[in-house]
Chain A
């Protein structure tokens, strides 16, 4: 069993794992919640997951590079968390609704949203222009924890709409971090989801850090165990294992869509990079710790598995790398070509039909802008 965070060697409680860091497939495993987990993928599907993981990592690296070059205001990298995001993201059915934090670029990708959208947000061109209803992926939420309550209310809403309770029912997933688990909002969301039996999956990516603060500063018990106190099942999954992340999320979503209530999933993973591009993690964590997680890389193990099982050969890996390279290049070019927003847009969407004060400010501003026309500016 995989050891816990850090050099201390304190062992982590067991988690659901279907693919070891060496790429060995575990056929089925029973989680702490008593459920038996397995996956039954075709070769094509295995290749698809690998492709997603590689592309998502590459696009993320491109975004980090763009920020470093001054082209984005800030970027919260998902490096290290690809499997948790692609696994859970691919487990979502089309009708399911996701509520992300600011780091769920991999889930966004799985939802079919143009990956340029979060970059236009962090470039300040717009505030995230995807349509949450169309893609069933809410806007990024940055005030920690708030989305868990939005998701709970949404889940209560679809229940009242009669969209829950059968094979084709809808389910909701709320993403949040280990740090967020300390917020009152998150605990209130647990209580509400529980007493209203809301069709929701709470998906906590325990990446071991909340900015600089390690998980020990947030909790004394493994996070998934908190669920039992709120009255619903909790399960810990190897968040660096895309197969297990998929299996556990799929089961929890099905549980929810059948009207059987919430589940807490703790995806045990690691934030390989900085919290955001403004952060320097060398101030608060040891290089050795990062290295020990490097050995549990979420992509290397899928590649090893595919190679060992001869699901694909070297051509395939080269092809995927090439695809990722092309997509990231295209992303870069499109980001650099994005036009600056029209200044007058600042007055839009505050209210659907304006307001007297805003209208007059808008008019004053337009006149002020006009005064520069033809001047030396």
Chain B
């Protein structure tokens, strides 16, 4: 038991570790206390830290994030939960205009070291307003950092960095990954923000993923290995800072690039990744760059239809086969 932890438990564990080492860390959000989170991602926190540090709030996303900003100005490190990432839209002023501009507009005199955690993405059939992958929304705003882990160890390691960071960090916990599990990292585990990792080594084609699309890419790679196509899978882990060095050095070896992202093709983060490769790595490429992304439609409620909108293993294997034919 000790060496395995679920993604869901890792969220609470990651927060708890930081709360133990730093008394300025507090959590606020809807149903995070006695109920321990609607996704069970804050289990044990209320018991251990009590109402002084775990604040159940009224239903008001603006107040949660706006007040987190104010609390951060006093030197606290608030960890604010927005239950579904879709509801980041309800507090967009604070995300787009207030929080990311605080340091800039005070000439570096005020920092707001806060984390906004949120359950992101589809795959559970929650419909158009509870299933969106919206990491690309945050990507449009300079001043925010963005973490989106795919493994329990990275949840803990990135949570540590996010909470310790003096920059505001939007921390995307993927709903479809919550039930999965992986190795429990050691006590002092920290993953630096902005460092991608090679999740699987390969030589023929580079597949870049984030959060939910990493396991999809890994499954596809496994299948393709049987067809003698060697796929290298890169887990970006963060969108800001964006680790293009790891991507470019992989493409240098494989000369093929496929990006797999859950957010819609239109405005998706993959557009940023491929534009950098087109700019700085064009000569390395032997084939066009491809993106497997969400369709440009709202997410349907039916599970079967939802799978048609977001990336699947089949879509990735098919795209890889086409690319490797070049």
Give me the interface of A with B, judged by CB distance under 8 Å. 73-74, 121-125, 127, 142-145, 179-180, 182-184, 210-213, 217-218, 278-279, 283-284, 340-341, 343, 345-347, 350, 355, 357-358, 361, 365
Apart from the given pairs A143-B90, A143-B129, A210-B58, 14 other A-B contacts in the complex at a CB distance below 8 Å: A121-B301, A123-B302, A124-B125, A124-B127, A124-B301, A144-B59, A183-B59, A210-B59, A213-B56, A213-B58, A283-B34, A345-B305, A361-B297, A365-B295
Chain A: CB-nearest residue to B84: A143
Can you pick out 17 interface pairs between chain A and chain B where the beta carbons lie within 8 Å of each other? Answer: A124-B303, A124-B305, A125-B302, A142-B127, A143-B129, A184-B62, A211-B38, A217-B57, A218-B59, A283-B34, A283-B35, A341-B302, A343-B305, A343-B308, A355-B296, A358-B295, A358-B297
Contact yes or no, B297 A350, CB < 8 A: yes
Which chain B residues numbered 279 to 322 have a C-beta less than 8 Å away from chain A? 295-298, 300-305, 308-309
Selected from B58, B130, B266, B302, the residue in CB contact (under 8 A) with A182 is B58
Pairwise interchain contact A211-B30, C-beta atoms closer than 8 A: yes
Q: What's the A-B contact tally at a CB cutoff of 8 Å?
A: 108
The reply on B265 being an interface residue by CB < 8 A is: yes
Report B's interface with A, CB cutoff 8 A: 30-31, 33-36, 38, 56-60, 62-63, 86-87, 90, 125-130, 265-266, 295-298, 300-305, 308-309
CB distance from B30 to the nearest CB of A (A): 7
B-side contacts of A123, CB under 8 Å: 302
Q: How far is the CA of A143 from the CA of B305 in the complex (A)?
A: 22
CB < 8 Å neighbour of B302 from A211, A340, A355, A361? A340
Closest to B124 in A: A73
| A346/B125 in contact, CB under 8 A | no
B301: chain A residues within 8 A (beta carbon): 73, 121-122, 124, 127
| Interface hub of B59, B60, B305 (most chain A Cβ within 10 A) | B59
A284 and B305 form a contact (CB under 8 A)? no
Instruction: Report B-chain residues with C-beta under 8 Å of the C-beta of A341.
Output: 300, 302, 305
Assuming the contacts A142-B129, A143-B90, A184-B62, asked whether A343 and B304 have C-beta atoms less than 8 A apart, the reply is yes
Q: What is the chain B residue whose CB lies nearest that of A344?
A: B308
Write the nearest CB–CB distance from A280 to chain B, whole angstroms: 9
Q: Kindly report which residue of chain B lies nearest to residue A280, judged by CB atoms.
A: B35
Roughly how many angstroms separate A357 CA and B268 CA in the complex, as a whole number?
13
* CB-CB nearest 6 A-B residue pairs: A124-B302, A212-B35, A182-B58, A124-B301, A179-B59, A212-B31
What A residues does B125 contact at CB under 8 A? 73, 124
Q: In the complex, A213→B57 CA distance in Å?
A: 8
**A211→B305 contact, CB < 8 A:** no
Q: Which among B36, B125, B303, B305 has the greatest number of chain A C-beta atoms within 10 A?
A: B305
Min Cβ gap A206→B in Å is 14
Which residues from chain A contact B86 at a C-beta distance below 8 Å?
143
Q: Give Cα A199 to B62, complex, Å.
A: 28
| Nearest chain B residue, comparing its CB with the CB of A355 | B296
A284 to B33 CA separation, bound complex (whole angstroms) = 10
Which of chain A's residues have a CB closer than 8 A to the CB of B266? 357
A182 to B33 Cα, complex, angstroms: 18
